[in-house]
Amino acid sequence: MSELPATAPAREPLTVAILAGGRSSEHDVSLASAASIRDGLLAGGHDVVWVEIGRDGCWRHEGEPLALRPGAGVLDADVVFPALHGPFGEDGTVQGMLETLQVPYVGSGVAASAVCMDKVLFKRIMAAVGAPQVEHLGVSAARFRRARSEVLAELGRLGLPAFVKPAHLGSSVGIAKVSSATELAPALEQAFAHDELVIVEAFARGLEVECGVLGTLREQRLAGAAAAVASQPGEIVLAGEWYDYAAKYTPGGMTLEIPARISPLASERVRELAVSAFLEAGCDGLARVDFFVDGEEVLLNELNTMPGFTDTSVYGRLLEASGIPYPELVERLCRLGRERHEERVALLN
């Protein structure tokens, strides 16, 4: 597995429009991520334009509604950093809008964002390319209400405990750990309150391990770097029973061990699978890929195209431990977004 490329030379400052908030239940997480990104960019000598998207979907700049026109960019920014999590932010919808505005932006494009936001679809694609995964089943609200007994019987074959998750949310929103058969139907109903599609995953033994993936700049690829590289794997050590919302965003809820306490062979396998999943899903810029590791067995779980960037979030800490300080990381992501935009514009001309 290729190592992370050396630090890129400093270049002219950028003006970056940060999109914060959004319509999803992860609105507050987005605000915290965006604030950290803003601070990192300012520390790197860049200019920041703050655009806050309300729960009502209105885009505002300096408290006033922002008028957007196709092809006109966003507030004359050089690049947009959509620090948005969940539906209407991480699922391809905002990415499509930014494409219409003809503005460079950080992260994956429309198709990859949509695929990776749908946990069921993502797992189907990973199965098609042979990636080892946690056992799981997808359940729609319509089918559960039409064939409740049949669905519960199918899910029973996953064993207990199991985890019930909305298929299109992140940050552990709406997730329940089910330890008895009687808890399964209520957990499904709770998840259906957030999403019409739910995924149920079997309990996976071993350690929870996460790995950051970062795209490489054009000049780095010309010098022989791979298209994307992986960080050192990190291990999630929980203070509580499982990795819920509180564990992710409450100081002390979890500890990140870097490097993860796994074998060199398992560590290399994690990094290989992280980059492979990133490329097979068509991702750009960045991702955090989550695994379960039991001895030498490595199982792929999820891929997040816009992982959290808060003070307690894993992605930035993984990259920093791998040699890329936070201000450089957020700048590099902005430059990757600009390069991708330039390449797409060249294809259209």
Q: Give CATH for domain 114-131+205-341.
A: 3.30.470.20
Check residue 172 and give its pLDDT: 61
pLDDT at 254: 81
pLDDT score for 31: 97
What is the rounded distance in angstroms from the CA atom of residue 144 to the CA atom of residue 127? 24
Say how far apart CA 105 and CA 117 lie, in whole Å: 18
CATH 3.40.50.450 fits domain 15-106: no
Q: Residues with Cβ < 8 Å from 79, sequence gap 6 or more?
A: 14, 16, 17, 103, 104, 105, 106, 334, 335, 337, 338, 341
Average pLDDT, consecutive stretches of 10 residues, N- to C-terminus, the chain (349 residues)? 57 95 92 97 97 97 96 97 93 96 98 97 97 97 98 96 90 81 96 94 95 97 96 89 55 84 98 98 98 98 94 91 96 98 88
Which pLDDT value is given to residue 119? 95
Structural domain spans, the chain = 15-106, 114-131+205-341, 136-202
Question: What does the pLDDT read at residue 239?
Answer: 74
Q: Which residues belong to the active site?
A: 26, 171, 249, 288, 290, 302, 304, 308
15-106 and 136-202: identical CATH topology: no
Q: Can you give the pLDDT at residue 238? A: 82
Domain at 136-202, CATH from 3.30.70.920, 3.40.50.720, 3.90.480.20, 3.30.1490.20? 3.30.1490.20
This prediction's pTM:
0.92
Closest CA to 82 of 249, 311, 309: 309
Closest by CA position to 112, among listed 213, 243, 36, 224: 213
Q: 3-state SS of the chain: helix, strand, coil percent to 5?
A: 35, 25, 40
User: What pLDDT sits at residue 312?
Assistant: 79
Res 171: pLDDT: 47
